[in-house]
Chain A
Amino acid sequence: MIHFVLLISRQGKVRLTKWYSPYTQKERSKVIRELSGVILTRGPKLCNFVEWRGYKVVYKRYASLYFCMCVDQEDNELEILEIIHHYVEILDRYFGSVCELDLIFNFHKAYYILDEILIAGELQESSKKTVARLIAAQDSLVETAKEQASSISNIIAQATK
């Protein structure tokens, strides 16, 4: 099971955190601090796994961003590594060649998308197409609501003129 997902930039800035196991706020910051120390200092040609406090952290660097997932020791590491890539591919498709800035300004989108891929720390959907479709449907729901709201407020505004 994936206990948490972290996106950390090369400078150690946190871009996304998602916790599937209960950690208090204090523990969360401690984990982030510790792991950034371990992972950001690793050289480029090493393996993608780090052993940490009885768990394993599978991570991969994409440009300036490190995607990390913490799993149990006996979990299949490569499977997790490819879940990371799966997520990245979906982000890439959604944003059109994704970059760190996309994830900074649209961090909420990154959360929506993650929620379509993982639940309870397990993979939920392995089809990129399906995820893309669901996210598009969500976006259009939000859009429609916005339009409705604005049209109603227009009506009210005009009526009360």
Chain B
Amino acid sequence: MALSGMRGLSVFISDIRNCPNKEQERLRVDKELGNIRTRFKNEKGLSPYEKKKYVWKMLYIYMLGYDVDFGHMEAVSLISAPKYPEKQVGYIVTSCLLNENHDFLRLAINTVRNDIIGRNETFQCLALTMVGNIGGREFAESLAPDVQKLIISSSCRPLVRKKAALCLLRLYRKNPDVVNVDGWADRMAQLLDERDLGVLTSSMSLLVALVSNNHEAYWSCLPKCVKILERLARNQDVPQEYTYYGIPSPWLQVKTMRALQYFPTVEDPNTRRSLFEVLQRILMGTDVVKNVNKNNASHAVLFEALALVMHLDAEKEMMSQCIALLGKFIAVREPNIRYLGLENMTRMLMVTDVHDIIKRHQAQIITSLKDPDISIRRRALDLLYGMCDVSNAKDIVEELLQYLSTADFAMREELSLKAAILAEKFAPDLSWYVDVILQLIDKAGDFVSDDIWFRVVQFVTNNEDLQPYAAAKAREYLDKPAIHETMVKVSAYLLGEYSHLLARRPGCSPKEIFSIIHEKLPTVSMSTVAILLSTYAKILMHTQPADPELQNQIWTIFNKYESCIEVEIQQRAVEYFALSRKGVALMDILAEMPKFPERQSSLIKKAEDVEVDTAEQSAIKLRAQQQQTSTALVVADQSSANGTSPVNQLGLVKVPSMSSSVDHNSTDPGMAQPNGTLTKVDPQPQPPSPSPSPDLLGDLLGPLAIEGPPVAGESEQNVVSGLEGVAAVDAAAIVPVTVQTNAVEPIGNIAERFHALCLKDSGVLYEDPYVQIGIKAEWRGHHGRLVLFLGNKNTSPLFSVQALILPPSHLKMELSLVPETIPPRAQVQCPLEVMNLRPSRDVAVLDFSYKFNTNMVNVKLRLPAVLNKFLQPITVSAEEFFPQWRSLSGPPLKLQEVVRGVRPMPLLEMANLFNSCHLIVCPGLDPNPNNLVASTTFYSESTRAMLCLTRIETDPADRTQLRMTVASGDPTLTFELKEFIKEQLVSIPTAPRPPAPAPAAPSNDPGAMLAGLL
């Protein structure tokens, strides 16, 4: 038997192993802990050897799952022991027992630093390993420079340098500021020339972390990565010990390709060619072999190559090669490869338009839905969900439904949600949609959330043609012997509203409908009883001429529930009873539900919610997000332009059971939907968009509608930005003045274009029949570089072109020369350098004029060099957040305000809004799910990089108000950021409201004054 080399420890372990049961084991452990505790107490008699032994015992006990709440100090103190054996134990046990937030670690920083800068190589290794494994923020700040020195030191051996590289990686993750980009980028490139593969592997991991945050600074590393890949994959030029089952370090290959995925493109044609050559070789040259490890290693490389090819948007041919490979993989026996094939196909859907080719594999993917392995089934479900479109929705959804009855419980909820969403998104006809949802409820009622059945009710309410069909279907389901309660709810609701449409069919007389519904009453919960009562009232109302027998029956029920302990039910019973005796009044109250206003599906939001997870950014995800945000913008534009959105954008309003008047108070105020509200700033008064909410609804919601957002446009500005009330009006005046003086009408909405550009970096700023001004911007720290693209759309030249920048005082802006004439059909590019001096929300204005024929055109355009462009998202962990949050206590560094008149939006939408403004929402920091915590770094010359933290506390009962707390290390920044966020929350993005009204206090800055005067 192998022994530990420490007799006492071995004996203890044997004892534990010989314990016949858990009880005995606990006794033995307690005895040992007592022993260790006494030994530690009178430390004097403890030899280093004994101390070492006890510390190991502690770790062993800890590993067995027992709480070890003492002795940490002893472990930490061993770190400062002079001799290697004790020191080694101190370091290892400390890094196992403690995590980075433990107070004791702080005590060791000095000792650790001494070991790192000392001459003893073995001590250096121990210290670097511990810091690399559990070093926190404080370690990062005090040790990073020393660690950097070691990485590039020529006198250090590889074994120290590779540890130093990974140690720095850890410190960088804890605090990115510790790596100074300017100084480090060149060093990093040099590191990639390293011949020792251990050091190179570690350095490559470091590079991956660095480029994932800022690829721009590390462009020079790109060709080197390609070189390394060539060296490994093509030339196989590595020492024997670094090949793994004949493959030159597969890990280094994978890491290198991962690093390459963070660069947006490979521009240099030679590098690109070499890279593709290598990738081609990997794609073609990987065969399935018998040896498992060799197979895994080569496929690890292959899958990474696939990801890189997808990222680079390679030529069609190479892409189809990839898909062919994946198609092969999803059909192989080896489960790992099958899993990865499915996973990568799903990723492929995210980055390129390959739906059609992937669809060919549909049958195989559906087979995988029945795989014995839940991991694989999950992948298959995800892929089916991703590849579904109008053409295959029917097949896929039906397949999902069929699978639902046999699926394991762990998957059913996700499965039913996904099926519901697909049915809604791609329904070829609405009756099919109703069928699907009812089947869903029938087969997996427990897993169908309320959202799903609310949604089907909405569709039916909004589509008259569908109503008789849905009612008939609901009636059919009621015949089944045992049905799920959700089915009772939905069918009772549908039949209450629409059963009169079926009256002539057999089995559908009011009496029959009533009795079949009433049969279910004894088995259902109180919330369903409430719905049933409403249904009875409606049946009563629809029974014309009145049927005295039915009436009596129903009245008896109402009477019975008048004394129900549930207030809700009691109230319904009393009111329905009273109303139904009045006849006409009942007709009014229980009239058919008005159509629901159209909003985005809450189901889709829910699904997105589920998908938001890990914080680490991956290249693919980043790209997918970019794509998503861009389409999101398009969608938003469309809906505001048309006033109505396509059917599948329908939104969910509150519970349909709210058919009685009493409930309307609780209806989501959000149903007063954003219908492209216009404010006075709008340069082009648009025709009022067709209001999707009919008057009926308006009446019902009378008091609410007044508070709702559509009217908020004007009042909000006064309420919220009272500070700059006057100034805001001035700033707002910029655009209308322009339009009035010009004979030339702009195309599109200038303000909307500006707002869109505040959230993205390229697009059209202005367009009229003669000229188009585009913008492309790049932002880095407090610097920005905008390029103005001035395009002449005509066949004759534009003369007297003038572009003046009127910068606010906080921006330094330099526009390069603008030519006086723009030739016909030509575009000139004018770079504009921007430097942010300090935090402010003032906006720069571009005063642009030109002459066409005899027309002198002059426009003044706000430039999207706004506050959020100088924000760089940063995610902070709870350990980093809370100390910072606490240290910034009270005004002026931390400001709090209750904001009212907020545009009501679900939390997820708010999170997206924050993210699009570069304020990254950090999930999980705030235990209250109604709150948001976001962080970002602000860059300006005066503040440098400064961390800003924000917390939003919302009130689920009233989404129009929230409490906001903003903190940063600079009082102006805190104030400006707070105001900025407020503007984002209260404004309606499609409504042209200046996001950055003129300065709070009258400044003597010429630019700002000018902007104000205009």
Chain A positions within 8 Å of B, measured between CB atoms, are: 1, 13-20, 22-25, 29, 32, 43, 45-51, 54-55, 72-74, 76-79, 81-83, 85-86, 95, 101-102, 104-108, 111-112, 115, 119-120, 122-130, 134, 137-138, 141-142, 145-146, 149
Contact = CB atoms under 8 A, between A and B. Distances in A.
B318 interface: no
Interface of B: 1-5, 10, 13, 17, 49, 56, 59-60, 63-65, 67, 83-85, 88-89, 92, 96, 99-101, 122, 128-129, 132-134, 136, 159, 162-163, 166-167, 169-170, 173, 197-198, 201-202, 205, 239, 241-242, 244, 249-252, 254, 258, 293, 296-297, 299-300, 303-304, 335-336, 338-340, 372-373, 375-376, 378, 613-614, 616, 618, 620-621, 877, 879
Contacts of B614: 54-55, 72-74
A49 B2 contact: no
A26 B133 CA distance: 19
Given A32-B65, A105-B1, A76 B335 contact: no
Contacts of A130: 159, 198, 241
Given A43-B372, A78-B300, A81-B336, A123 B205 contact: yes
A57 B385 CA distance: 23
Given A22-B100, A85-B293, A124-B202, A142 B85 contact: yes
A33 to B, nearest CB: 9
Contact of B251 (A51, A54, A55, A123): A123
Given A134-B159, A146-B85, A20 B133 contact: yes
Contacts of A119: 128-129, 132-133, 163, 166-167, 170, 202
B473 to A, nearest CB: 36
B338 A127 contact: no
Nearest to B64: A14
- Specify which of B2, B173, B205, B618 lies most central, judged by the most chain A CB atoms within 10 Å of its CB: B2
B205 A122 contact: yes
Contacts of A81: 296, 300, 336
Given A17-B96, A73-B613, A125-B162, A82 B300 contact: yes
Nearest to B128: A119
A101 B1 contact: yes
Contacts of B13: 104-105
A83 B613 contact: no
B202 A18 contact: no
A145 B129 contact: no
B254 A79 contact: yes
**Which are the 8 A-B pairs with shortest beta-carbon distances?**
A78-B300, A54-B613, A47-B335, A74-B618, A119-B132, A119-B166, A120-B170, A46-B373
B92 A112 contact: yes
A91 to B, nearest CB: 12
A146 B1 CA distance: 22
Contacts of B197: 126-127
Contacts of A129: 241
17 contacts: A14-B65, A18-B96, A43-B373, A47-B338, A48-B335, A49-B375, A55-B614, A73-B614, A79-B300, A105-B1, A105-B2, A108-B4, A122-B205, A123-B251, A125-B201, A130-B159, A138-B88
Contacts of B879: 22
Contacts of A24: 99
Given A24-B99, A81-B296, A76 B372 contact: no
Nearest to A32: B65
Given A55-B614, A141-B85, A126 B249 contact: yes
Nearest to A133: B159
A78 to B, nearest CB: 4
B620 to A, nearest CB: 7
Contact of B339 (A47, A86, A146): A47
Given A17-B63, A128-B241, A74 B616 contact: yes
Contacts of A106: 2-5
A100 B56 CA distance: 18
Contact of A126 (B67, B244, B373, B375): B244
Given A119-B133, A119-B166, A124 B198 contact: yes
Contact of A120 (B4, B64, B132, B304): B132
Given A47-B338, A107-B59, 14 more contacts: A18-B96, A32-B65, A43-B372, A74-B614, A74-B616, A78-B297, A79-B250, A111-B92, A115-B129, A115-B133, A119-B132, A120-B166, A123-B205, A149-B49
